[in-house]
Amino acid sequence: MNQPIGASKPAVPPLVELLQREFTGTALERLLGLEDVRVPADIWEQALLGPAREFLERPGKAFRARLVRTSWQLAGGSGTPPPTLPLLVELLHAGSLIVDDIEDGSTHRRGAPALHHLHGIPLALNTGNWLYFAPMALLSRMGLSEELELALTRRTISTLLRCHQGQALDLAVRVSDLSQKDLPDVVLASTRLKTGVLMEYAAHVGAIASGAAETTVETLGHFGMELGLGLQMLDDLGNLVSDRTGPKQFEDLRLGRPTWPWAWLAGDLPAERFDALVSLSREVIAGQREVGELATAMRLALGRRGGERAHRHLEGALNRLRESIGPCADLEALSEDIARMEASYV
């Protein structure tokens, strides 16, 4: 359909604009050292750029990018950070979502079919992996000092390593594999190494790039880690208690994944009641019981305690940061963002 005369063009999402500016045509060939070889543009589009653009066009919260900018301000950065800087974390996160969907057998992401359902597993997997490495290529082209580029590159590599370790726990371990005593620690470790580490990275990137002292960098990084833990609590709880239907509903329960509701129940329930829930989980995975039965049983056992615990965790993280850096408008704006996200999860 033709666009009406006089109508404004829809804004290009920042990640897509970055892709078009840095990874197409001669820019891509220069990056790859292919100045003497001509690969037709439609081949690159089919092989890599098309799948990447299709995914990056989907709307997301972009909260990690906001955390980079906020961390820059809280750390004393002058003006605004380089525009590419907040997008580094979003590229890493996009890559992780594409790969997660393949590993989890998910059918949809961000309101559309998962990328491997559109382009097949090989192209989707390669696109996700490419998005892990693209930020390091961008760091080398941002005109940063050698010392700053090295520090950010090292943080990026460390983040990717730890995220993959967390994903290993997520993929290999099921609720029925763990004792009631061990389950909370496994959930905590997995969350720290996935959601926590990526939020920590976002806070570190903004603080390091601002030139802040190491103590400030670590204070903001610790806040990012605790923020990631709290948001994962909300996400896990939302998967259990939300009435919204769709292909992602109860995905954690269908996969038998250790999550925060399981961790809380492991600490709250006597062994007999907890074992009964684990047995029900085994039957759901085996296709012998409906997943809704397990969700209802866990909701009744948990009551309102899950939401209250997630809220206390997030509020505690914010209060500790206030004590460290003092009251400021940037922090209060971040607090409002977190409150909106908290309301949207459950």
Res. 203: pLDDT tops 50 = yes
More reliable by pLDDT, 32 or 224 = 224
d(CA 206, CA 76): 10
Report the topology of domain 58-82+142-241+252-345: Farnesyl Diphosphate Synthase (1.10.600)
Quick: pLDDT tens for 3-42: 455 545 567 889 999 988 888 767 777 777 777 777 788 8
Q: What is the pLDDT of residue 10?
A: 62
Can you give the pLDDT at residue 39? 77
Query: Tell me, what's the pLDDT at 8?
Result: 55
| pLDDT tier for residue 1 given thresholds of 50, 70 and 90 | very low
Tell me the average pLDDT of the chain.
90
Contact 284, 295 (CB under 8 A): no
Question: Domain residue spans in the chain?
Answer: 58-82+142-241+252-345
Indicate if the pLDDT at residue 64 is higher than 80. yes
What does the pLDDT look like over 249-294, one tens digit per residue? 888 999 999 999 999 999 999 999 999 999 999 999 999 999 999 9
Could you tell me whether strands 112-113 and 108-109 are parallel, antiparallel, or unpaired per DSSP bridges?
Answer: antiparallel
Buried b (16+ CB within 10 A) or exposed e, 230-239: bbbbbbbbbb
Return d(Cα 281, Cα 174) in angstroms, integer. Answer: 10
pLDDT at 73 exceeding the cut of 70:
yes
Spell out the SS3 assignment of 183-221: HHHHHHHHHHHHHHHHHHHHHHHHHHHCCCCHHHHHHHH
